[in-house]
Structure 1
Amino acid sequence: MQDINPSYDCVVIGGGPAGSTAAALVAEAGHSVLLVEREKMPREHVGESLMPESYWVFERLGVLEQLTASRFSRKVGVQFVNNTGRESQPFFFRSHDPRPCSETWHVDRAEFDKMLFDNAATKGAHTRDEVRAVDIVMEDGRATGVHLAHEGGTEHRVSTKVVIDASGQQTLLAGKLGIRRVNPELKKAAVWRHYRGAQRDESGGGVKTIILHTSDKKAWFWYIPQSDDLVSVGCVADNDYLLKGRGKPEQTFQEELAKCSGVLERVADAEAMDDLRVAKEFSYMTEQSAGDGWVLVGDAWGFIDPVYSSGVYFALQSACLAADAVSEGLQQGDTSAAQLGKWEPEFKAATNSVRKLVHAFYSGEFRVGKFVSEHPHHHGNLTDLLIGRIFKPGVATMFDDLDPWLQQQIAESNSGDAV
């Protein structure tokens, strides 16, 4: 690793959307930055559907033109299908807000992540793939360096003023410090694959993310049309239900698919790709977002759930906020925990709206169409949350009505009165 300098103002661990965004912005502010990714870029990754509010991060990074000219499928809305197969009216984003920022893309994560990784280099970051962060050097409670290992086996230490951990669900620093906490109410697992030639509804000028429940409501499927005539289809359920005491993941996937007529119909004439994958217990938070000389962003900070496709947007937004705090701290000579983590309380409060929406979904009684028909004044707030406008004033007022409404639906279901 002779081409890696012995010291940098900032070392960013992880070349996903969060790491590449943070590295690009800190480097653009005039600081020396090293961005390392342990795998060879491009690399495969799940998480194809974006939230429209990512637009503003893309604009700041200067990649909107690339995305607009890309082959990625344009995402124009979200639709829900309940356990009986009844479809909600689609939430078309442009019907709520006609601006270009109200639509986004279903991306190929390998290609998308590589685009952002290369953009970080364009902005001045020193980018290296196939370089693994083995450990964070801590001195008197402060992060002062990173131990790196090249794929060839060479290891050395790089000193730095700030470490940005964007290592994703590897959660390097959170694991080292013992601050990662799995959400006991969201111990979920996912099994997914791609299909070629599955149905694509482009009636709204693009494709939609479709969320479908199985007939017994024990699992749900995502249905995400992508480019190259591919559709990502994934099944999510409680970890114990999906992965314990059952057959191989392929068998489990087929068993759950048989209970979801909406997906079965859409893939009936399609070819299943040989790329079945499994992930589990991916919902967690960290007790601390920053310390002296370090800060967590993206999935290294936390991950809620895949149901509303919030993961990449939260990664991008947290990286932007953290990058600004890091740049300011480096300029002022203040890389304390208070400075590097100053953005996190507001961000955490804003993301809590999506967290509450996730818990509503998993109650099993959140019938989106029914709620909106009974509370039409919240259609805009719900659409805003699906777009990702979590910082919009008043958006969380929806829960003043949703929470008691949901409790009523659950009570009626338990008493057998639900229709």
Structure 2
Amino acid sequence: MPVQSRRESPEMADVVVCGAGPGGAVTAALLAESGHRVVVVDGEVFPRFHIGESLLPLSNPIFERLGLDPKSLGVQSVQKHGVTFLSECNQRRARIEFKGAPGIKQPETMQVMRAGFDQLLLDRAQAKGARLIAPCQALGVDFDRPLPRVQLKDSVGREFAIDCRFVVDATGRKGVLARQLGLRRMDRGLRKAALFGHFKGIPFQDGRAAGDIRIILRPGQGWVWLIPLPGGVTSVGFVFDSGEKPKDLAESPSACLERWMGQLPLLQPFMEKLEVTNQPSWESDFSYSTRAYSGSNWLLVGDAGSFIDPVFSSGVLLALSGAVDAAGALDRALGANLGRGRGLLRAYGSEQQRRYRFYRRLVLKFYSPGFQEILFATESWPAGTRALVSALGGNDRPDMGTRLRLEALYLIAWLKNRSLSNR
């Protein structure tokens, strides 16, 4: 891309989307479909590796809105019907399916390799008219002008700028705009770390459970995810308190992960034949929120605004849902007067905060012993279980009856916590 001279006017766009992951790609696709000039910038070359491979059923309507058939997305996937919870010693097992849960009309979903999945969404954005500039680093945004000016640097270090009416930060944990504006707040109630990698040689479950994410509970230590992926690959991740990081984690995440896997009874029989397909890595203190999701001419989408915890696989759905909301708000704001536009963006921010609080509360319940006891006794609470499955499937706006049953389940978990603490 040519360098802009001082005399050369910056390019003009209606919206600049920083970040080409699911949140950024879907925001760009829907805005471009509505006829707006959209530029997407990302510092990486796609396709690229990413974790967060487990999707939720409420993603399906969003795929359809993009003109994508959820059952034949064009990327390799494993069909997912539900979730299997296991105790650490594999002595207790509980399985729940999304089918029949309130608010979930299309219960089948997928486990995907994110490289191909994210590329598919980005291709759809470009097909609808969004322009991609990558690799290209977003340096920041100058708001001290009549229009926001996004400062960029290309792969050879040349700097240039794009003026626009609105900026969308969809840069995930990087949070370019969120950090520039001092919006990010670390979640002190969820100080967790995760160590993860991809392996071949771990058998899937049988039948309809073959595509389930398996969540192995390790009381007092955290939990483990096992996500079945195409090609016989399994994503393995250990989540634990960030203050309990082993000394050799930073130096050798591979050795640390294999040691922990070898201590897990479910995986011990397969350790000798395991094949590493992606080098293990780790992240720490990944739970955070934001003081605001929107301003007069900017929005945060997906992980750029907040990330809660990977336990219920809500990350991709929150990015997709936020993208739909962002595109709707911006589409209307681009045709509205200044006051009306600001009101639309404020409403967007309020909705994202509400959704964040819903899932954060659910995650905090998961980490309580009483709630984990309920997970292994779902047959005792059929109505409450259906309400819980609705939430786990991505229904963050349950009807009144479902909401009351979910609250009843939370109350039972609280009573169990009190009972356990008095022993």
TM-score (norm 2): 0.91
Q: State yes or no: 1:388 paired with 2:394.
A: yes
Residues in 2 aligned to 1:245 and 1:53: alpha-carbon distance in whole angstroms: 39
Conserved 8 A contact 1:291-1:336? no
1:224 corresponds in structure 2 to: 227
1:184 corresponds in structure 2 to: 188
1:38 corresponds in structure 2 to: 43
Q: 2:20 aligns with which of 4, 15, 20?
A: 15
SS at match of 2:230: coil
2:7 corresponds in structure 1 to: none
CA offsets per residue over residues 291-320 of structure 1, 9 Å max, x none?
111000010111110000000000000010
Residues in 2 aligned to 1:77 and 1:160: alpha-carbon distance in whole angstroms: 43
Moved more, 266-275 or 375-384: 266-275
**Deviation at 1:26?**
0.7
Distance 1:19 1:269, change over 3 A: same
2:236 corresponds in structure 1 to: 233
Number of aligned residues = 414
Distance 1:155 1:285, change over 3 A: same
Mapping of 1:317-356 within 5 angstroms? 317-334=321-338, 336-356=341-361
2:32 corresponds in structure 1 to: 27
**Deviation at 1:145?**
1.6
Q: State yes or no: 1:406 paired with 2:413.
A: yes
Q: 2:298 aligns with which of 294, 300, 306?
A: 294
Q: 1:124 aligns with which of 129, 138, 148?
A: 129
SS at match of 1:276: strand
Conserved 8 A contact 1:295-1:341? no
Mapping of 1:143-154 within 5 angstroms? 144-154=148-158
Residues in 1 aligned to 2:377 and 2:347: alpha-carbon distance in whole angstroms: 36
**Deviation at 1:61?**
0.9
CA offsets per residue over residues 190-227 of structure 1, 9 Å max, x none?
1111111311124117510110023x531211000000
SS at match of 1:204: helix
1:158 corresponds in structure 2 to: 162
Conserved 8 A contact 1:57-1:316? yes
**Deviation at 1:270?**
3.1
CA offsets per residue over residues 211-244 of structure 1, 9 Å max, x none?
0023x53121100000011000000011111255
**Deviation at 1:71?**
2.2
Residues in 2 aligned to 1:11 and 1:290: alpha-carbon distance in whole angstroms: 15
**Deviation at 1:68?**
4.2
**Deviation at 1:93?**
2.0
Distance 1:185 1:264, change over 3 A: farther
Residues in 1 aligned to 2:181 and 2:205: alpha-carbon distance in whole angstroms: 47
Q: 1:378 aligns with which of 369, 380, 384?
A: 384
1:261 corresponds in structure 2 to: 265
TM-score (norm 1): 0.91
Q: Percent identity?
A: 30
Q: 2:93 aligns with which of 63, 73, 88?
A: 88
Distance 1:66 1:126, change over 3 A: farther
SS at match of 1:302: coil
> Please, which runs of 5 or more residues in structure 1 have no aligned partner?
none
Residues in 2 aligned to 1:257 and 1:205: alpha-carbon distance in whole angstroms: 21
> Please, which runs of 5 or more residues in structure 2 have no aligned partner?
5-9
Conserved 8 A contact 2:262-2:268? yes
Conserved 8 A contact 1:6-1:157? yes
SS at match of 2:81: strand
SS at match of 2:94: coil
Residues in 1 aligned to 2:300 and 2:43: alpha-carbon distance in whole angstroms: 17
Conserved 8 A contact 2:82-2:209? no
CA offsets per residue over residues 44-103 of structure 1, 9 Å max, x none?
111110111100111111122684453211111111112442343321223548987211
Moved more, 264-273 or 23-32: 264-273
Q: CA RMSD in A?
A: 2.5
Distance 1:45 1:362, change over 3 A: same
Conserved 8 A contact 1:213-1:220? yes
Residues in 1 aligned to 2:103 and 2:290: alpha-carbon distance in whole angstroms: 37
CA offsets per residue over residues 350-405 of structure 1, 9 Å max, x none?
44332222111112342243452332211211111111111222343244323332
Residues in 1 aligned to 2:362 and 2:87: alpha-carbon distance in whole angstroms: 16
